[in-house]
Chains A and B, each alone.
Chain A
Amino acid sequence: MEWVHKHLPALIIMVPLCMGLVTAIIGRRGAGWYMAMGTTAATIAMAIQLLVNVLNTPGQSITYMHGNWPAPFGIAYVIDPLNAAILVIVALIAAIVTMYARKSVASEISVGKLHFFYGLWLFCITGLLGITITGDAFNLYVLLEISSLSTYTLVALGKDRNRRALTAAINYLVLGTIGACFYLAGIAYLYMATGSLNIADIAARMQDIYATWGTDSPQYQKTVIAGFALMAVGLSLKLALFPLHGWLPNAYTYAPSAVSALLASTATKVGAYAFIRVIFTLMGVDFAYHLLRTDVALLISSAAAILFGSFIAFRQTNVKKLLAYSSIGQVGYITMGFALGSVTGLTASVIHLFNHALTKGGMFLALGVVAYRVGNTKLQSLAGLGRKLPFTMGAFTAGGLGLIGVPLTAGFVSKWYLVSACLEAGRYELAGIVLVGSLIALLYTWKVVEVIYFGKRADDAAPMREAPLTMLVPTLLLIGGSLYFGIDSSLSAHIAETAARFVLGGTP
């Protein structure tokens, strides 16, 4: 056991990676799901253990060196309160969605491809966990590609239901690859300036470089700025920050239901985490916000995302696409929080990462039940389902209330922190935008809720039963979680604030 504890940071990546390979080879028919389920269950245990370890470690940071190679030479995994929290979010959502995937995926993907599906599923989770845990900028790129490549394929597997999944996947592939290339190019520039790939190491050497900028012979000024700009654009593409969100709506809409839920609640979140890491740890707030004023660009993008994303969501007639556009708006809340650069702002970001993962994940799962029972997710297909699928639709409605940010839902807690952060910074107009955004969320949520409860089901429609338990329980778990953390946010708020303080404390 001691060996496991010591190597936990490596195991949390290696176990799903190896199991992904094994599953793709021997996980035929039903076996693949059991392997994926077992792996994700183990992952979540490891993630929680890591979080506990980090919070109990005096410096609140653990560094794990692969093969005992010291940091600048070998690959180091660095765990602090921020990424430990994200690890738990990703592992938790992954396990719950995997539980759900069994019936949903079996109905949407031909049986001969199931072992590929679950293999890729585990690779995708590996990549997401890896981006989060790694302390090496180049290693982050590798894991980003692992998760991205498997995601493209997972999206494309939706083709059995709708051929448009293929174009959506190609679109995502092209834009995703551009994003990854931008990031890689950015790393190369920073390597040119610092000669290192380790995040902590680059950050330390960067201080020496910044010190020369005020003098007569500034070193690497243009190189560093170009590197940061490239990384920022690349990551913005990954997290679908407005206006670089083009790939997201179709990818979410045509992917298999379980994949949409996993992507919506983890992929963009991990992208946001990587962005936070680059700004606050790698480059430092002084450089990114005070010197380059990236915060202004981010705030404008965030505000635009909140308003336009939500508004375009309102105009959709496919509920899955509606949720996808809503996600673009919700990403705006996350980026706005860390763009403010304060402890409250970063807390708002982290807590919204978590709250939105639960809420939106749960809503996509509820919608997956509709796809399972009805066959599509058009708005009209939901008419009158409030009586047929009372629990599923109840969960969907509760999730919708969370998107609006009604009190007693997790969404309200996020909004409370975010608006507080705006007001503390004296940005009253941003506070107004956040509140107006929740009203637009009310519009698009209510559009669906009215159809669910007041719409008339066709008289000749086939009888329908509530969702199977293996799909209902995960849905209720996520939505129940979003309600629980809306009523008592002490745990989530405490962890988010600890993470925010740690990250900002590291860059005075």
Chain B
Amino acid sequence: MNGEAALALALFTPLAGTVLIAMSGQFPNLREMFTLVTAVLTFIFVASLYPLAVNEQVVRLELFSMIPGVPVAFRLEPLGLVYALVATLLWIPNSLYSIGYMRGNHEKHQTRFYSCFPIAIASAIGIAFAENLFTMFLFYEVLTLSTFPLVTHKGSTDAVRSGRVYLGILLTTSVCFQLFAVLWIYALAKTGGASGTDFEAGGIFRDALASNAVSPAVVGLLFFLYIYGIGKAALMPVHRWLPAAMVAPTPVSAFLHAVAVVKAGVFCVIKVIVYVFGIDTLKLHNLGEWLLYISGATIIIASLIAAFQDNLKKRLAYSTISQLSYVVMAGALFTPLAIFAATAHIVAHAFGKITLFFAAGSVYTAAHKTQVSQLDGIGRRMPWTMAAFTVGALSMVGVPPLVGFVSKFYLLNGVTESWTGASGHFDEAFVLVVIVASTLLNASYFLPIIYRAFFKPLSDEDRKHPHGEAPWPIVFALTFTAGLTLAFFFWQKPVLALAELVRRAAV
């Protein structure tokens, strides 16, 4: 299969899936089959792009021009492929998990639920392979809107209120900041202030800055607009939408708000750093140092908040905010090796966090429990679930042999790369302190849950309500992702090959 066809199929298969799912609402088994088939096919099409990316072939697809001169176009690119592979791979276990969860909890409007998912995936793929700034913005917005019905799925007052926060923050930041930056760059490109509007290794401002066609202050402002325009990266203080989105059914929180949506955020941040501004440019003109401190602060503050959350999903959400800023902080070091680490962490966090959410949903389905304080002794009743939870939690802390260790290892390498031992390296010292402190904090809010689950006795109240494991699709899905967390420690080559390409593009 040639690359263009694979790219087009990866984009359109989910959309075709949406149509089929919407039409087969009367037959739940058929509908779920369409979901699974779509998920598997989409992953196959994305995966078939892998050899092309490793061989650095140019694969380009131009769909149409929404506005004359502003095409909607896609181009295969290693960082995007990493994100797309993670998203489509995890969609498969998540589809299985959804079936167990939605049926187990007798949720309503399941057809709407299953129809919205593929649109979100298609927009994730669109973001991943966007060739220009406009295409990325376009699919970024479609992703926000297509996930809104999923977040407000329950339709309760609480869901509506959370939906408002979700849409409010994501649209405000993207329209006021990102769209502004996009339009500004398009206007600059017309007058030579930027060398183009396509993503370009090394950035689009290098020549313009050298020839004084654009001032560093403007580029710095654009960088700020972009970073805060990507609200999905949940950088403080625009992180509130993520805990609010936890009102959604667990498959949505697990897949969208631990993988597809939030990874779209950090992916966009890294992509913009590498391919729009360029790490050399940012470093040379000292435009992005603030980002290092903001993301470092986000890591610590979000971890502290997580430690005080009794609601399991809320605790996981704040943990996600903190982990996302790991990626941003790695990007903000502006060194090639740190960009490499950021790419690896996108993958590492996805596997661990989806497992944790799967476990939380499994507990809710089987035992109807949502709070950490209710989990005493549950490990004996749900051994698979809590074992998977343990794997995910340890990966978050960064314990080998789990994938979380890999990315943390490279991040530390990235720090030392720029730390030559000379004095005045306050930035690097700050990053080291943040990494150590957050590792301790991660341990402090995950390990007590594991301790409770396995070592504390069941309460008297719980003894009266016996329950076993969750339905098999749920258990299967979470075991699968826990297995991936483990497997990737040993089998990291494919991802690292892509990360290496991103690193080279950053130089």
Chain A residues engaging chain B, CB cutoff 8 angstroms:
401, 404-408, 412-413, 416-417, 419-420, 423-424, 431-432, 435-436, 438-439, 442, 446, 450, 454, 486-490, 493-494, 497
Contacts and interface: CB of A to CB of B under 8 A. Distances in A.
Interface stretch (B61-69, B273-281, B472-480): B61-69
A45 B64 CA distance: 29
Contact of A439 (B138, B141, B155, B176): B176
A432 B64 CA distance: 28
A490 B171 contact: no
B142 A407 contact: yes
A415 B310 CA distance: 44
B176 A416 contact: no
B73 to A, nearest CB: 15
A487 B138 CA distance: 11
Given A407-B137, A420-B187, A487 B155 contact: no
Given A420-B186, A442-B171, 12 more contacts: A407-B137, A407-B141, A408-B138, A408-B142, A420-B187, A435-B179, A442-B175, A454-B159, A454-B160, A489-B68, A490-B65, A493-B68
B59 to A, nearest CB: 24
Interface residues of B, number: 29
A412 B179 CA distance: 11
Interface string B159-174: 1100010011001100
A467 to B, nearest CB: 21
Contact of B175 (A401, A439, A487): A439
Name the prevailing secondary structure of the B interface residues.
helix
B145 interface: yes
Nearest to A405: B175
Contacts of A405: 175
Given A407-B137, A420-B183, A435-B180, A486 B164 contact: no
Contact of A431 (B68, B171, B183): B183
What 6 A-B pairs come out closest when comparing CB atoms? A423-B187, A407-B138, A419-B183, A454-B160, A407-B141, A493-B68
Contacts of B175: 405, 435, 438-439, 442
B67 A487 contact: no
A450 B166 CA distance: 14
Interface of B: 64-68, 70, 137-138, 141-142, 145, 152, 155, 159-160, 164, 167-168, 171-172, 175-176, 179-180, 183-184, 186-187, 190
Contact of A454 (B155, B171, B172, B179): B155
B145 A416 contact: no
B66 A413 contact: yes
Contacts of A435: 175-176, 179-180
Contacts of A438: 175
A468 to B, nearest CB: 25
A489 B66 contact: yes
A419 B190 CA distance: 14
* Interface-central residue, B167, B171, B187, by most chain A CB under 10 Å: B187
Contacts of A446: 164, 167
A145 to B, nearest CB: 39
A392 to B, nearest CB: 18
Nearest to A421: B187
A494 B68 contact: yes
A487 B183 contact: no
B66 A424 contact: no
Contacts of B180: 419, 431-432, 435
Contacts of A487: 64, 66
A405 B175 CA distance: 9
B116 to A, nearest CB: 13
A416 B67 contact: yes
Contacts of B160: 450, 454
Nearest to A415: B179
26 contacts: A405-B175, A406-B141, A406-B145, A407-B137, A416-B67, A417-B67, A419-B180, A423-B184, A423-B187, A424-B190, A431-B183, A432-B176, A435-B176, A435-B179, A436-B176, A438-B175, A439-B172, A442-B168, A446-B164, A446-B167, A454-B155, A487-B64, A488-B66, A489-B66, A493-B67, A493-B68
A457 B64 CA distance: 42
Given A406-B145, A407-B137, A439-B172, A424 B187 contact: yes
A34 B78 CA distance: 62
B67 A489 contact: yes
Contacts of A412: 66
Contacts of B172: 439, 442
